[in-house]
Amino acid sequence: MRPYLLFVFVAIFALAGCEQSPYRDGEALYKAQCANCHMDDGRGLGALMPPLAGADYLKKERAQLPCILMFGLADTIVVNGQTYGEKMPGVPTLTAVEITNILNYVNNAWGNQNGVFTLEEVRKSLETCK
Amino acid sequence: MIKHIFWMFLLVAGLAACGGEEKRTLPILGERDVVNGDTIYPTVPDFAFINQDSQLVTNATFAGKIYVVDFFFIHCPTICPKVKANGVRIYEKYKNDPRVAILSHSIDVRNDTVAALKRHADKLGVGTPQWHMVTGEEDAIYGIADNYFSVATKNPEAPGGFDHSGRLILVDKNRHVRSFCDGTDAEETSRFMKDIDLLIEEQFGAKASK
């Protein structure tokens, strides 16, 4: 009976491991602040809300991302060749730590592999916000 | 070991019971009256709105059809995009089925002009005659929300300036509300789409087209 039980435990842990993103705080913040428009799967919505999953914009405008999260976007932007012109509201109450957590989740979820943001990098970017 | 087998059986039996598809009929929702022994079910009242193509949209637009209703506004900072995303799923599934339509009411009549609604529909990649995005008299829109068991009202304290529920509501061809769901929830919407299929079968006697 013992080895059988052990196997069950291992299986449960393995399954639990699959479910979790390494950026759980970022995931929770994303779901609360971003997913209404960008959707849980990061796909966006038609030509209204740009996708985050597979978005070239995340790589091209990496240094701008912290400011965009905090202060939003009023300009028209191009993501993967598609133009988006809706205004994005920022979340000025976010802290630098929270922004780092969200960016790390977004940049490494849904197949994105855009590397990790450090708190220092985010703080530096935030100093440049217009 | 025998005990184990017993529990296994119970589990399998339980699962099998869940899987058994029982023939369901959607209820008619709302408070009913009994007049002289006849039951009177609540119906959606007459309405007249203008859609994204400047066409008049009335009950006659949906004659002989079943339709899905929601309330939204374009510059909604909260739940609307999720409801719209689930609306698009419904649209994609039934866009070639003229028996099914969608009616989205804007609750921000000041900003959501016909031209703005047209742009919005185009950007979503959806359109008439299947999906009507309408504007109209503010009071008429807020009033009819009650008949669809939904909330739509101004509230300066709410995000974006409006309070509204993110419900999707299913109306049959006799103007009865038959089902609804939380349109922000993808799984709930999947369940709701099964209700649409069920209603198509009930009212048109044929299975929903794939």
Q: What is the mean pLDDT of each run of 10 residues along chain A (130 residues)?
A: 66 58 92 93 94 97 96 95 92 96 97 96 93
pLDDT at B19 over 90: no
Q: Is residue A9 part of a domain?
A: no
Peptide bond preceding B129 in cis form (omega within 30 of 0): yes
Alpha helices by DSSP H, listed for B95-160, are 114-124, 138-147
**Quick one: average pLDDT of B35-51?**
93
Contact A39 B81 (CB under 8 A): yes
User: Å from A73 to nearest chain B CA?
Assistant: 13
Q: Is residue A47 part of a domain?
A: yes
**Domain span including residue A119:** 23-127
Contact B84 A47 (CB under 8 A): no
B160 and chain A in contact, CB less than 8 A: no
Contact B81 A45 (CB under 8 A): yes
pLDDT at B170 over 90: yes
What are chain B's domains? 27-204 (3.40.30.10)
Q: Whole-prediction pTM value?
A: 0.80
Q: Which helix (H) or strand (E) holds B134?
A: strand B131-134
For residues B176 and B28, is the Cβ–Cβ distance under 8 A? yes
Nearest CA in chain B to A85: B123
Nearest to B29 by CA among B130, B156, B193, B178: B178
Q: Place B76 in a pLDDT band, splitting at 50, 70 and 90.
A: confident
Number of domains in chain A: 1
The mean predicted confidence, pLDDT, of chain B is 89
Contacts of B79 in chain A (CB under 8 A): 36
**Quick one: average pLDDT of B79-108?**
95
Domain with residue A59: its CATH number is: 1.10.760.10
Dist. CA A122–CA B6, nearest whole Å? 58
Q: Is residue A8 part of a domain?
A: no
Contacts of B184 in chain A (CB under 8 A): 36
Q: Is residue A6 part of a domain?
A: no
Nearest CA in chain B to A50: B123
Higher pLDDT, A38 or B77: A38
Check: complex ipTM more than 0.90 = no
The pLDDT, as a whole number, for residue A104 is: 97
Q: Is residue A16 part of a domain?
A: no
Contact A49 B81 (CB under 8 A): yes
pLDDT at B122 over 70: yes
Which residue of B77, B79, B85 is in closest CB contact with A89? Answer: B77
CA A97 to chain centre: 13
Contacts of A89 in chain B (CB under 8 A): 77
pLDDT at B210 over 80: no
**Quick one: average pLDDT of B184-190?**
95
Q: Which of the residue ranges A8-17, A35-44, B64-73, B168-177 would you say has the lowest mean pLDDT?
A: A8-17
Contact B88 A39 (CB under 8 A): no
**Quick one: average pLDDT of B111-118?**
96
Q: Place B10 in a pLDDT band, splitting at 50, 70 and 90.
A: low
Dist. CA A52–CA A114, nearest whole Å? 11
The pLDDT, as a whole number, for residue A117 is: 96
Q: Is residue A111 part of a domain?
A: yes
